[in-house]
Structure 1
Amino acid sequence: MPTNSKVGVSDIAKHAGVSIGTVSNYLNYPERVSETLKAKIGAAIQELGYVPRRAAPSPAQTTTGTPIIGYVMTDIEHSLFSFIFEGAQEVCEENGMQIIGLNASSDLERQHELIRTLIGMKVAGILLSTVQDSAEDVAAARAANIPIILIDHTNPYEGTPVCSILENNVSVGRIAAEELIHTECKRIAFAAHSFDYEAIQDRQLGVEKAVAQAGDGVTFQLIDSGGLMVEDGRQLGMELSDRAEQMRREDSDNSSVPDIPIPDGIVAGNDTLAMGLLASLHERGVLRVPDDISVIGTEDMWFQAISPMPLTVVQAPGIDMGRKAMTQLLDYAENPVSHVHGTTLIEPTLIRRASTRA
Structure 2
Amino acid sequence: MPAAKRVGVSDIAKHAGVSIGTVSNYLNYPERVSDTLKEKIGASIKELGYTPRRNTLLPQRENAVPRLIGYIMTDIEHSLFTFIHEGAQEVCEENDLQLIALNASSDAQRQNELVKTLIDMNVAGILLSTISDSPEDVAAARAANIPIILLDHTNPRHADQVCCVLENNMAAGQIAADELIRIGCSRIAFAAHSFDYESVQDRQMGVEKTIARTHGSTQLELINSKGLMFEDGYQLGLDIIDTMKRSGLDAIPDGIITVSDALAAGVLSAFHDHNGPRVPEDVCVIGMEGARLETKCPMSLTVVNAPAIDMGRKAMAQMLDYIDNPAAHVHSTTLIEPTLIRRASTRAE
Question: For the aligned residues, what is the CA RMSD?
Answer: 3.1
Residue equivalent to 1:181 = 181
TM-score (norm. length: structure 1)? 0.83
Q: Is the 8 A contact 2:16 2:41 kept in 1?
A: no
Deviation at 1:311, TM superposition (A): 0.9
Percent of aligned pairs with the same residue?
Answer: 58
Whether the 8 Å CA contact 2:300–2:344 is kept in 1: the answer is yes
Equivalent of residue 274 in structure 1, options 264, 269, 275: 264
Alignment of 1:119 with 2:119, yes or no, is: yes
* Contact residue 85 and residue 101 of structure 1 kept, 8 A: yes
Query: For the structure 1 residues 334 and 23, does the alpha-carbon distance in structure 2 shift closer, same or farther, using more than 3 Å as the test?
Result: closer
- Supply the distance in 2 between the matched residues of 1:315 and 1:4 (Cα, whole angstroms): 21
The alpha carbon displacement at 1:186 in A equals: 1.4
Indicate if the aligned counterparts of 2:69 and 2:100 stay in contact, CA closer than 8 A: yes
Equivalenced residue count is 335
Residue 105 (structure 2) aligns with? 105
Q: Does 1:12 align with 2:7?
A: no
CA distance in structure 1 between the partners assigned to 2:242 and 2:157 by the alignment: 46
Query: Are the aligned partners of 1:21 and 1:76 in contact in 2 as well (CA < 8 Å)?
Result: no
Q: 1:4–1:342: structure 2 CA closer, same or farther, 3 Å change rule?
A: closer
How far residue 297 of structure 1 moved from its aligned partner, in angstroms, is 0.5
Aligned AA (2:318): Q
Deviations 1:12-34 (A, max 9, x none): 26xxxxxx98897787667678x
Listed as ranges, the gaps of 5+ residues in structure 1 are: 14-19, 249-256
The residue type paired with residue 261 of structure 2 is D
Instruction: Quote how far apart the aligned CAs of 1:221 are.
Output: 1.3
Say yes or no: does 1:87 pair with 2:54: no
Gaps (5+ residues) in structure 2?
1-8
| Alignment of 1:316 onto 2:322 | no
Whether contact under 8 Å (2:16, 2:40) holds in the other structure is no
Which runs of structure 2 are paired with 1:1-358 in the superposition (5 Å)? 5=11, 7=13, 12=18, 38=34, 41=37, 45=41, 57=55, 61-63=58-60, 67-248=67-248, 261-358=251-348
Aligned equivalents of 1:74, 1:26: Cα separation in 2: 26
Q: What secondary structure does 2:251 align onto? A: coil
Q: Is the 8 A contact 2:56 2:97 kept in 1?
A: no
Superimposed CA distance per residue, residues 223-269 of structure 1 (whole angstroms, 9 cap, x where no aligned partner): 12222221221111112112222234xxxxxxxx9xx8311110001
Q: In structure 2, the residue corresponding to 1:173 is in which secondary structure?
A: helix
**Residue 95 (structure 1) shift:** 2.6
Contact residue 10 and residue 90 of structure 2 kept, 8 A? no
- Match of 1:72, as an amino acid? I
Partner of 2:6: none
Matched to 2:242, the amino acid is D
Number of the residue aligned with 2:4: none
* In 2, Cα distance between equivalents of 1:242 and 1:180: 23
2:21, 2:86 within 8 Å by CA — same for their partners in 1? no
C-alpha displacement at 1:194, in angstroms? 1.6
TM value normalised by structure 2: 0.85
